[in-house]
Amino acid sequence: MSIKNFFLRKMLKSQGVPEEQVDMVIAMMEKNPELFKTIAKEIEEHVKGGMDQQAASMKVMMKYQDELKKLR
């Protein structure tokens, strides 16, 4: 496990994400890291524009929902 994955796992667990979902998210990120960089960048742009973090995350995740489903 890379150090990046270790910290990601810790962060997700601290936010109450169940273990099986943590594993799924990490596996998905390893399959297409560029998609997740794009998602993070777009969420950040929405938050900087005044949108709530959760609302921004939901909006961007919905935009990329088809691509995310393919990674499962």
**Residue 18 identity (one-letter amino acid):** P
Residue ranges per structural domain of the chain = 1-31, 32-72
Residues 6+ apart with CB under 8 A from 51: 59
Global pTM value: 0.78
Among all chains, which residue has been given the structure tokens 């994955």? Answer: 5
Of the candidates 35, 17, 21, 12, the one whose C-alpha atom is nearest the C-alpha of residue 43 is: 35
Contact indicator for 51, 59 with CB cutoff of 8 Å: yes
* Residue range 10-69, pLDDT digits in tens: 988 888 889 999 999 899 999 999 999 999 999 999 999 999 999 999 999 999 999 999
